[in-house]
Amino acid sequence: MTDIFAQTKAKFHLPKGVIYLDGNSLGPLPKAAMGVVERTIQDEWGEMLITGWNKAGWINKPSEIGDRIGKLIGAPAGSVVMGDTLSIKVYQALASALELNPGRKVVLSDSGNFPSDLYIADGLLKSLGEEYELRVVAPEEVENALTDDVAVMMITEVDYRTGRKHDMKALTGKAHANGILTIWDLAHSAGALPVDLEGCNADFAVGCTYKYLNGGPGAPAFIYVADKHKDAARPALSGWMGHEAPFAFDLDYRAAPGIERMRVGTPPIIALSVLEASMDIWDMVEMDAVRERSIELCDLFIDEVERLCPQLQLGSPREGRRRGSQVSFHFENGYAAMQALIANGVIGDFRAPDMMRFGFTPLYVNHDDVRGAAAILGTIINEKVWDDPKYQKRSKVT
């Protein structure tokens, strides 16, 4: 039987001589994307000009692609829409959730959350008034911190540094039992592991598409709103594309029905065309199979690295079900070691203060890649290749 992941790997452009273990930060280019973008530019924008909004169906792309992503995250049709950046979608979700729970003023998050989410929350709460509070606890303390003064729990399901995975169903259930609404950031979950937003009864979710979903740098984000909230959630960012009748050009805002109200500005059509090419690859696989292969690859990498580099300390949960699709190791000279690794054909990344981070996407990473990457890492560490001064200089992006 042909390995489906050998078929999917052939559909990505992967530079010769490179083992790419950084798809948890930026996915590689789907080969078909270049043709799709060319058609979008030449045949649609070029020949149709502005009529492409109707003739090529541009105006419907955010919802159509949202439904395709919805299949990967356990969201029913009509509950996910594309557009804008992840930071904007976090703002939208949090503002709407707070308004739906008006008697409370506390937003609960954890110290494993991506800093941008915390920045957005802090900025929004300061705008709302001094009585609002952003309460940040350690990841393992979240459950006990779900007290009856909390309005919203805002959590990233998979920790961007360690790969530690929260139990969405359990935490959502506990939150609801205490009258708390939930927002789940799926930046490191969508395309990495099976997600069941509807089954877990999540209220809101957001995520980006440039990581595991391979939409390209700066690809648009998505937002999910549960059916029970879709017509009640008021969009704080009341953009014209979220208006009930955007081309009536009314001076007063009327929110569109359902998830469409979470649209804000003009959708980035060329960027969305890249995402469509990636979604065609995702249509080839089942998320359960992706998850099983992901755990195999991560477990193999941990075994190989610990055998070859006992100096490195595992920074991720050892048990596969408790982490996402990445593995991190602590190393005092981790930044320099990662630069040496990249120079030798293995691309991962570094997160301060000392975390070497590696992502494993079965769509284009296989067992041979894992063994090869671990062997090169072993050479870098044991021969102290990282000690060369050229690997010590810090770049803006780590």
Q: How far is CA 58 from the centre of its chain?
A: 24
Distance between CA atoms of 19 and 7, rounded to whole angstroms?
17
User: How many Å apart are CA 21 and CA 238, to the nearest integer?
Assistant: 39
Stated as kind and residue range, the H or E segment containing 107 is: strand 106-110
Task: For residue 71, report the phi and psi dihedrals to the nearest 5 degrees.
Answer: -65, -25
Q: Let me know if 301 is exposed, middle or buried by CB neighbors in 10 A (0-12, 13-18, 19+).
A: buried
Listed in sequence order, the residues at least 6 apart from 69 whose beta carbon sits closer than 8 Å to its beta carbon are: 75, 80, 82, 190, 207, 209, 213, 222, 279
Contact 325, 294 (CB under 8 A): yes
Q: Which two tokens stand for residue 76?
A: 């029913």
Q: Which one from 12, 114, 222, 224 is the annotated catalytic residue?
A: 114
Query: Could you count the other beta carbons within 10 Å of the beta carbon of residue 129?
Result: 8
Identity of the residue numbered 307: R
Q: How many residues does the chain have?
A: 398
Per the annotation, the verdict on 114 as an active-site residue is yes
Q: At what angle do helices 334-343 and 367-382 cross, to 10 degrees?
A: 120
Whether 185 sits among the annotated catalytic residues: the reply is: yes
Contact 295, 301 (CB under 8 A): no
Residue 12 designated active-site? no
CB 47 within 8 A of CB 54: no
Active site residue 196: no
Which of 12, 210, 224, 301 is labelled catalytic? Answer: 210
Identified catalytic residue from 89, 261, 291, 357: 357
Among candidates 157, 159, 191, which has minimal Cα distance to 28? 191
74 three-class SS: coil
Task: Give catalytic residue positions.
Answer: 114, 185, 210-211, 357
